[in-house]
Amino acid sequence: MIALWMYLLVAAALFCIGIYGVLSRRNAVSILMSIELMLNAVNINLVAFWRYLTPQNMGGQAFTAFVFVIAAAEAAVGLAIIISVYRNRKSVIVEDVNLLKW
């Protein structure tokens, strides 16, 4: 059977790809997509640890379900904010949204 560390390694790689995307992209929508990648890496870790360490205790799967809820809420509100910003400033480049920058 696949060992636990292989799942963790794939999840760590996915998380680091997400971090790179969040830090390096200029378009707000691609930053949001990178955040989804990071949430998915967390989900892989939660389910892998649940399967290998406590397969009869539902904590891991329940937390993964809550992460789904958070991700859906975050995507809905985030995209609404992006559309609102685009309507007001005609841009989705995060560097152009500097109204609060001192």
Partner 1 sequence: MITINAQSIAFILFSLFILGGGLGVVTTRNLIHGALYLILSLFGVAGFFVLLSAPFLAAVQVLVYIGAIAILIIFAVMLTRSMTSLTEAFNRQWWLAGLVGGLLFIFLAAGIILPVWGASSAYAGQPVSDVVATTTDLGIALVDGNQYVLPFEVASLLLTAAMIGAIVIARDDE
For partner 1, the binding residues in 42-71 under the rule CB under 8 A are 43-44, 47-48, 50-58, 61-62, 64-66, 68-71
Q: Residue 64, Cα to own-chain centre: how many angstroms?
A: 13
- Residue 89 touches partner 1, criterion: CB under 8 A: no
Least distance to partner 1 from the beta carbon of 38, Å?
A: 10
- Smallest separation, CB 101 to partner 1 (Å): 15
The residue (of 90 and 102) whose beta carbon lies closer to partner 1 is 90
Q: Are 31 and 25 in contact (CB under 8 A)?
A: yes
Question: Which of 18, 17, 34 is CA-nearest to residue 78?
Answer: 34
Non-local (6+) Cβ contacts of 85 within 8 A are 28, 91, 92, 97
Q: How far is the CB of 85 from partner 1 (least distance, A)?
A: 9
